A and B are shown apart, each in its own frame.
Chain A
């Protein structure tokens, strides 16, 4: 098991604002992932990292960016939020071929 922390849990923000969604894990896992999930729908991979200074885009095109400066920290940034970014964002880390998920951030862009 892994402890995955995500902040904020809920965020309501206006169009055009810059936002950063935080994700951290305390287990030293190298592999981390960001997924986007609309309510009651499937998950789509938007970014992943296999270690420090390694980041890749996922299968779903996203206007967000990520960074991986420290093993435990994998933040996601939206430079200019739009209503189309309204969704839930899930962070996960991987240990032995199993991914463990954080509680998610529900984002509403007005």
Chain B
């Protein structure tokens, strides 16, 4: 079975610090997609970053970057210079060959002023 594990249910960091959210996954597929989604309190789920498994280069989007280790099946998200608006639930997700997404249980991130 394909699974996504986020081992940090909740984290808190001070504004302007860097924080890393962990994610591991399990699959026997060789080509797939990985995502980090952000869900602010009572607001819409939005895509933060996407990684294609066949690309070795780690994806980056402004202050957000990933550390993708395919052999270890690890996909962590780094948020640099964290801002109050980064406070949200973050979901790691894996898309299989059938275009179905498996989500992790999420990490609740608090950015403290």
| Contact indicator A98/B35 (Cβ below 8 Å) | yes
Q: How many A-B residue pairs have CB under 8 A?
A: 44
Cβ–Cβ contact B106 & A40, under 8 A:
yes
Give per-residue flags for A91-110: 1 if the beta carbon is below 8 A from chain B beta carbons, else 0.
Answer: 00010011111111000000
Within 8 A of A (CB), among B73-113: 89, 91, 95, 99-101, 103-106, 108
Number of interface residues of B (CB under 8 A): 21
A43 in contact with B103 (CB, 8 Å): yes
Residues of chain B touching chain A, judged by Cβ–Cβ distance below 8 Å, are 33, 35, 37, 43-47, 50, 52, 89, 91, 95, 99-101, 103-106, 108
Residues of chain A touching chain B, judged by Cβ–Cβ distance below 8 Å, are 31, 33, 40-43, 45, 48, 50, 58-59, 90, 94, 97-104
